[in-house]
Structure 1
Amino acid sequence: MKLESVITSDQIQNETHSSSKKNQSMILACIGVVFGDIGTSPLYALKTSFSLCGLDANALNILGITSLIIWSLLLIVSYKYFFWVMPIHNKGEGGLISLMARCLENEKSEKMKRIVLALTFIGIGFFIGDGMITPAISVMSAVEGLSVYSPSLANYVVPVSLSILILLFTLQHKGSFVLGSVFGYFIVLWFLWLAGLGVAQIIKDPSILKALNPIWGLRFILKYPSGAFLAFGGIILAVTGCEALYADLGHFGIKPIKISWFFIVLPCLMLNYLGQATLLLINPDYLNNIFYQLVPFEWIPFSVLIATIASVIASQSIISGIFSIVRHCIMLDFIPRLKIKHTSSDYIGQVYIPSINYTLLILCCLIVQIFQNSDRLSHAYGLSVVGTMLITSILLFLIIKKNIFINTYKRYLAFAIITVFIMIDLLFLGSSLIKFFEGGWVTIVISVLIYAIIDTWISGRKMIDNISKLKAFKIKDYLKKNVHSEKRLVPGTAVFFNRSSNIIPTSFDTYIQNNPYSHEKIIFLTVHVTYQPRTIPSKNMTIEEIHDNIWSVVVHYGYKQTPDIQKALKWFCENVHEIDLQNIQFYFSQQIFLVGKHPFKRKVQRTLFQYLSKISLRSTDFFKIPHSHLIELGAYTKI
């Protein structure tokens, strides 16, 4: 069933007709960026599934678990994401923020808005938790091949893993724009290596192909229901990184992602899992590190090398994803403003956030030190993966609930299918929670902390806005009383930044009360970031002349854009009213918050908000206002 009514008139750019060479390079880049995470899952998914369920590696169990892994790839990735999630985009963009925006379209219920935002923030917490664990488990799983080559090297797994992670994070400031073309070749080589290892085993015992029949998965569930329930905690690891398919939709478009998945990635993954299962049928004792048992002994060093490179690429992709989603949250004022560095002049989405980078580095290294091996860490990893998937399914349900299908039959059929997805996600979630005290707590702690930061920041900003509205005058009322005061006019333009376009900013009141002069032209400038990924500021400027030579200007940006104040003023000068761009004075109000006496819970939250405000980048630095044209006025506010 198609979601024809979901797709807007804005078609994804990458689906337009293009040359064969361009399509090939796009597919190569797509494989390098999108599929690194799910491509490293064979390192640990099958062995973790057996480890969690505690069952012997006999024929039924091997066929059953392998069948469940393969059908998880088919149902969750191939069907759920490609045919249900990805068509619901936001002007070609995917990801949690896009789903949130679609849920909030024309939504009038404040209660529903709060629910959608809360779900999104929880999902962001799970996604960032995933990003902290992915580098640790991927790199450790790859390096653990050293112990298969020589047991004496087992003690070097943790130090080598830590060294690779430290190198990975310290090089982030260089940027990741090379991911697409250069890394794509390595990931293609990795998938071909996976397929080759699998085929080499399958030809020894083709009976393993019976696992393609889902009946074997059902037999396993019916015979060992409790064991199967526990095994789902490992099976979920086979679909890690499926969120990347949706998150990177805007970078590549659905066509290259589909071609990459169905013609390269999926077949190679299935062949490798079937190869691992074949080897277990031949010798169940190989279960401990089944992936590297596929590799001929003399090829293990090469396999460790290529697996490590693939793991680094997978880690790089998720780290870049975290930088992107944090930047989007900053633009939407969900979290404090942080220093953002653009690492590529060609790709505006390539960003580096130093504070986030080093936080991830410290936490990744701590995770490696605490868990010591990939088996233990997999308990935490599964929970972060299924948490993000569950939030995606719930938001998808809410979107469909609104008005996607006109036909009643299709509407109820869609509800039924999405409900099944949610039930499957809940099954995976329940299985992952069983191991809460053995590692799952890490994901929960990270998600709760992220949610607390976002909720505290948003609540605090609303509180400050309410305080400002109570104290401030409406612009037009204020100007009637003060604009005709006898003041000496000086050449030039004064620009006052304002969070709300209808009230007087504190900086302007201070300016009027303390200066004997006034600029010839005055602009009240408000920057408004929408839930759309992109806008054209020159076509999305709300301009009102509220008095002679006094304007209220609201510039609208999308959450994926970087506000350019100078460019907006230049457009104003060329199309609305001429101003001297070299003779502009910018005025900002810098608020300093003081926490008053409150009950313990409220005091903790407001103290956290006070701290977040201190570390937040100043508006003047965020908007890159030249210091030579800047006057910043401080004000204390009691909260």
Structure 2
Amino acid sequence: MADTSSKASDNAHASHGHGRTGLLGLAVGAIGVVFGDIGTSPLYTLKEAFSPHYGLTANHDTVLGILSLVFWALMIVVTLKYVTIIMRADNEGEGGIMALMALAQRTLPRNSRSAYAVGILGIFGASLFFGDGVITPAITTLSAIEGITIVAPKLHTWIVPITLAVLVLLFGTQRYGTQRVGRVFGPVMLVWFVSLAAIGVMNIRHNPEVFHAINPWWGMQFFMTHGTHAIFILGAVVLAVTGGEALYADMGHFGARPIRHAWYWFVLPALMLNYMGQGSLLLLDPAMARNPFYLGVPDWARIPMIGLATAAAVIASQAVITGAYSVARQAMQLGYIPRMRIQHTSKDTIGQIYIPWINWILMLAVIALVLMFRSSTALASAYGVSVSGTMLIDTLLLFLVARAMWPKARRWVLPLCILFGIIDTAFLVANGVKFLDGAWFPVVLAIVVFTVLRTWRRGRTLLYDEIVKDGIHIDTFLPGLMLAPPTRVPGTAIFLTGQSGIIPHALLHNLKHNKVLHETNVFLTVETLNVPTAPKDKRLKMEPIGDDFYRVTVRFGFMETPDVPLALMRSCDAGGGIPFDPMDTTYFASRENVVAGRHRGMPIWRDRLFAFMHRNAAPATGFFRIPGNRLVELGAQVEI
């Protein structure tokens, strides 16, 4: 079953526009986007492992033990878990924790407690992802620019200002889109990984014995030698696998096969050669532990390498920022965060988007993080908690999907999920002990984001219940209205409503103030499905309810950008239904003014938080791409 799912995933990607693009081209594109985060881990992983924080001495057995743990972490967590297994759990060709959550919920009874618990898990995982989106740009850029202290130690005080300048420039140019810059991402990262491999090979020749670290015995011996203290070292080892979740999250852009081939045959060998080269240097001179990456670069190449590392850090940051936009759009579609203005930065690729609110919030958080920690070593203490937490949630969701949807493969996948869970838990514990040293930041950030997401979701439910409770049912209202019908005017009126079966407030206000009724009246509800793209046969449903009134439901997938007028026009082009003339159609929408009420549904502070978010949310009409010159908005006050 797993193999079938994998093939279906690849076919799905072909239909997403990759069918004519060669496997090599997609693999190069994936190298430029998908592997940026994990590809910059050699900048700081071994440096952190031998920092004074852990109290390790870079002797023979310790170096081989750490290298063995890094190698097997990459093999088990990234290669086996994400690349080989979890990428088979595609949701209509899409990946990522939100897609996996929707897939897992599909295996459970609708509206059940188990489905609710899976939703909580997925949303908390998405919250942790935003924490990763803040830390990755900070630590990768800082660790790249810290190389200048190897060339010119007196420039140490310039590290933070240069880092801030690079980050401000990165976030400030997001509104222009990544289409043009993205064309050079692949070649730059190709040069980066080739450089990693070349530097690694050059340093390995000093002490080829480092290849013994491939034997897992050295990792086990490390644990036997250091006892329980060895678990804490996993807080540094996990830095080698940060970015592994991105391989799955970006599967929808490139397909499973290109990502797998790029990882197996290019990225993984380059990373391991560099790690082995750094280990060889440490065996040669333990003092190089202060920065084994840059000290392993020849003197003549250090300045160019700082430039290349900075470019790689920017690309890694870009991938995480773009991922944050995608996750935010999915969360909007699934009803977990308020609607925000989305700008499309490409006429050809719908997935290239820019969300100003997310961009500036991320930028402020990243700048605050750099100013608080001021070095990659200090930041490494904060890094890892969000990554290991997301990986553990991925394992739990994978277990549910494999048990329900992979009857043949689950015999070997489920035992592996137990192994993955043990490793993920060990990583989480190792990073949890660093809570007071900086790990509190991503935890607090994730809790804040989670609270916002759950408050918005719960508030929407309460708002819906209040509208339904005080609303008038269509089946009872229309017959009474048509007993003494108001004047009918030419044209089509479309009333947007989130409550199917209830008369929209906009219609009642229109009748009260204008005392007219259009010839054709449509009650329009927009729904989001738990699949990336809505099937054509489920896109639009029309139901006549008499006297030229219609109930219409338009459905979109959680990866789509809703365009209601376009969906209605396409239904006309397909024949049947209501003839929508854009120049003779008026959209009516209700704009509820939410008032917080005590002892009703949520604590008062959450009511006020929801009311604040509701006031500042982008109007549904703009989110659904309804033209402003064809729109009439009418207000209503609702207490929750």
Q: TM-score, normalised by structure 1?
A: 0.96
How big is the shift at 1:197?
Answer: 0.8
Task: Give me the whole-angstrom Cα distance separating, in 2, the residues matched to 1:599 and 1:552.
Answer: 32
Q: 1:387-426 alignment to 2 at 5 Å?
A: 387-405=389-407, 411-426=410-425
Aligned CA distance change for structure 1 residues 79 and 501 (closer, same or farther; 3 Å): same
In 2, distance between residues paired with 1:40 and 1:388? Answer: 19
Pairs within 5 Å for 1:19-418: 22-51=22-51, 52-108=53-109, 110-178=112-180, 180-405=182-407, 411-418=410-417
Deviations 1:337-366 (A, max 9, x none): 111101111110111111111111111111
The 3 A distance-change label for structure 1 pair 551 and 399 is: same
- State the shift of 1:537 in Å: 5.2
Letter in 1 for 2:548: N
> CA offset at residue 416 of structure 1?
1.7
Contact residue 12 and residue 250 of structure 1 kept, 8 A: no
- Say whether the 8 Å CA contact 1:11–1:91 is kept in structure 2: no
Amino acid at match of 1:636: Q
Partner Cα separation in structure 2 for residue 15 and residue 548 of structure 1: 46
Residues 356-400 of structure 1, C-alpha deviations (whole Å, 9 max, x = no match): 111111111110010010011011111111111111111111222
Paired residues of 2:98 and 2:123 also in contact (CA < 8 A):
no
User: Using a 3 Å threshold, how does the CA distance of structure 1 residues 197 and 566 change in structure 2: closer, same or farther?
Assistant: same
Deviation at 1:12, TM superposition (A): 3.1
Q: By how many angstroms is 1:161 displaced?
A: 0.5
Are the aligned partners of 2:392 and 2:425 in contact in 1 as well (CA < 8 Å)? yes
Q: Secondary structure at the match of 2:587?
A: strand
How many angstroms does 1:486 deviate by?
Answer: 3.0
Farther-moved stretch of structure 1 (435-444 vs 515-524): 515-524
Q: Is the contact made by 1:14 and 1:255 (CA closer than 8 Å) also made in structure 2?
A: no
SS at match of 1:522: strand
Shift of 1:98: 1.2
- Answer whether contact 1:28 1:180 (CA < 8 A) is retained: no
- The residue that corresponds to 2:443 in the other structure is 444
When residues 585 and 104 of structure 1 are mapped into structure 2, their CA distance, relative to the original with a 3 A threshold, is same
Q: Cα distance 1:514–1:101, how it changes in 2: closer, same or farther (>3 A)?
A: same
Q: Say if 2:589 is the partner of 1:588.
A: yes
| Mapped partners of 1:42, 1:332: distance in 2 | 37
| 1:605-632 C-alpha deviation (Å, 9 max, x unpaired) | 1010011111100122222322322211
Contact 2:193 2:270 in 1 (8 A): yes
Mapped pair 1:534 → 2:533: yes
Once structures 1 and 2 are overlaid, which stretch shifts more, 589-598 or 73-82? 589-598
The answer to whether the 8 Å contact 2:493/2:586 transfers is yes
Query: Partner letter of residue 423 of structure 1?
Result: I
Is it true that 1:543 corresponds to 2:530 in the alignment?
A: no
Structure 1's 510 and 320: CA in aligned 2 closer, same or farther, altered over 3 A? same
Q: Which runs of 5+ in 1 are unaligned?
A: none
Q: Indicate the residue corresponding to 1:481 in structure 2.
A: 480
CA drift of 1:513 comes to: 3.4
* Residue identity opposite 1:110 in structure 2: S
Structure 1 position 610 matched with structure 2 position 611: yes
Quote how far apart the aligned CAs of 1:114 are: 1.2
The amino acid across from 1:102 in the alignment is L
Give me the whole-angstrom Cα distance separating, in 2, the residues matched to 1:268 and 1:128: 28
TM-superposed CA distance for 1:461, in Å, is: 0.3
| Structure-2 separation of matches of 1:506 and 1:294 | 69
Give the secondary structure class of the aligned counterpart of 2:591.
strand
Mark the CA change 1:542 to 1:44 in structure 2 (over 3 Å): closer, same or farther.
Answer: same
Instruction: Tell me the amino acid that sits aligned with residue 616 of structure 1.
Output: A
Report the secondary structure of 2:384's partner residue.
helix
Q: How far did 1:267 drift?
A: 0.4
Instruction: Give the match's secondary structure for 2:483.
Output: coil
Aligned residues: 635
Higher mean alpha-carbon deviation, 482-491 vs 534-543, is at 534-543
Distance 1:157 1:163 in 2: 10
Q: Which amino acid aligns with 1:291?
A: F
The answer on whether the counterparts of 1:50 and 1:231 sit within 8 Å (CA) in structure 2 is no
**Structure 1 residue 21 displacement after superposition:** 7.3
Could you say what secondary structure the match of 1:503 adopts? coil
User: Contact conserved, 1:101 with 1:532, CA < 8 A, in 2?
Assistant: yes
Which stretches in structure 2 are left out of the alignment for 5+ residues? none
Structure 2 distance, partners of 1:311, 1:319, is 12
| 2:84 alignment partner AA | F
Of the structure 1 ranges 532-541 and 247-256, higher mean CA displacement relative to structure 2 is found in: 532-541
**Change in CA separation of 1:308 and 1:111 when aligned onto 2, cut-off 3 Å:** same
Contact 2:135–2:369 (Cα < 8 Å) also in 1: yes
Larger mean CA deviation between 55-64 and 384-393 belongs to: 384-393
- Measure, in 2, the Cα distance between the counterparts of 1:9 and 1:63: 41
Structure 1 residues 217 and 37: alpha-carbon distance in aligned structure 2, compared to 1, 3 A threshold: same
* Cα pair 2:87 2:95 within 8 Å, conserved: yes
Per-residue CA deviation, residues 6-25 of structure 1 (Å, 9 max, x unaligned), is: 55856434469999973222
Describe the superposition over 1:104-161 as per-residue Cα deviations: whole angstroms up to 9, x where unpaired: 1152152111111110111011111000000000000000000111110111111110
Which AA in structure 1 matches 2:25? S
Note if contact 1:492-1:579 (Cα within 8 Å) is conserved in structure 2.
Answer: no
Secondary structure of the corresponding residue to residue 486 of structure 1: coil
Relative to structure 1, the CA distance from residue 48 to residue 358 in structure 2 (aligned partners, 3 Å threshold; closer, same or farther) is same
Matches within 5 A, 1:450-599: 450-536=449-535, 539-574=538-573, 575=575, 576-598=577-599
Separation in structure 1 between the aligned mates of residue 21 and residue 115 of structure 2, nearest angstrom: 45
The CA deviation at 1:596 is 2.4
Give, in angstroms, the shift of residue 194 of structure 1.
0.6
Structure 1 residues 595, 75: CA separation in 2 closer, same or farther (over 3 Å shift)?
same
1:237-264 CA-to-partner distances (Å, cap 9, x unmatched) read 0011111110111111111111111111
* Letter matched to residue 191 of structure 2: L
Report Cα offsets for 1:547-574 as digits up to 9, x if no partner: 1311100011111111112122223444
Q: Describe the superposition over 1:34-88 as per-residue Cα deviations: whole angstroms up to 9, x where unpaired.
A: 0011010000011212224311110000000001101111111111112220001
**Structure 1 residue 584: Cα displacement:** 1.0
Q: Structure 1 residues 18 and 584, CA, compared in 2 at 3 Å: closer, same or farther?
A: closer
Q: Secondary structure at the match of 2:492?
A: strand
Helix, strand or coil for the counterpart of 1:120? helix
**2:562 touches 2:623 (CA, 8 Å); kept in 1?**
no
* Aligned-partner Cα distance in 1 for 2:10–2:195: 36
Residues in 2 aligned to 1:179 and 1:25: alpha-carbon distance in whole angstroms: 16
C-alpha contact 2:144 2:309 (8 A) present in aligned 1: yes
Q: What secondary structure sits across from 2:583 in the alignment?
A: coil
| Equivalent pair of 1:499/1:527 in contact (CA under 8 Å) | yes
Q: Following TM superposition, by how much is the alpha carbon of 1:538 offset from its aligned partner in structure 2, in angstroms?
A: 6.6
Q: Which moved more, 1:334-343 or 1:557-566?
A: 557-566
Structure 1 residues 198-247: Cα deviation after superposition (integer angstroms, max 9, x where no partner): 10111121111111111111111111123321110010000111111101
Question: Could you say what secondary structure the match of 1:591 adopts?
Answer: strand
